[in-house]
Amino acid sequence: MGGKGSSDLWLGLDMHVTVASVAMALSCVVVASFLYFLIDLVIHLIAFWADNVWSLDVGKWFLISILGGYMLPLSVFPAWAQRVLELLPFRVFFDLPVRVFLGELGPLEWARGMGLALGWCITFAAVGRLLWWRGRLQYTGVGI
């Protein structure tokens, strides 16, 4: 089994999986899961004011799928759109973990992506806290 170094696993097609790339990719998945939870939290807290938030859930999944690299690789977008997509939270769900795992992005790019993702986590957590605070003031539970 050939490879560049003892810690590399040669997969072909210029893909090198290392222990570091696996660890960085797993951390991306953990942060992406937390971010997904926070986005879901914000959407579902809108239910304090709306009767049905299902369509918002479907829209969220569509946006994440298209703008996160699930349905289309982000490299098919024009250069200006790629720069914008790097600033949005959707990239962390698919594009970032896969590219880090395959060794296409190094530690610096990983750190930048994770910092941006954590910034989005803080933003959605703050919005969720505000919606919870405002929504519980208006909520009246009626039941048996």
Provide the whole-model pTM. Answer: 0.82
Among 124, 138, 129, residue whose Cα is nearest residue 48: 138
Residues 134, 140: Cα–Cα separation, whole Å? 13
Mean pLDDT calculated for residue range 59-70: 94
Q: How many residues does the chain have?
A: 144
Which of 53 and 6 is assigned the larger pLDDT?
Answer: 53
Average pLDDT, the chain: 88
- The three-point CA angle 44-45-48 to 5° equals 115
8 pLDDT more than 60? no
Confidence of residue 50 (pLDDT cuts 50, 70, 90): confident
Q: Looking at this protein, which amino acid is placed at residue 81? A: A
Residue-level pLDDT at 49: 86
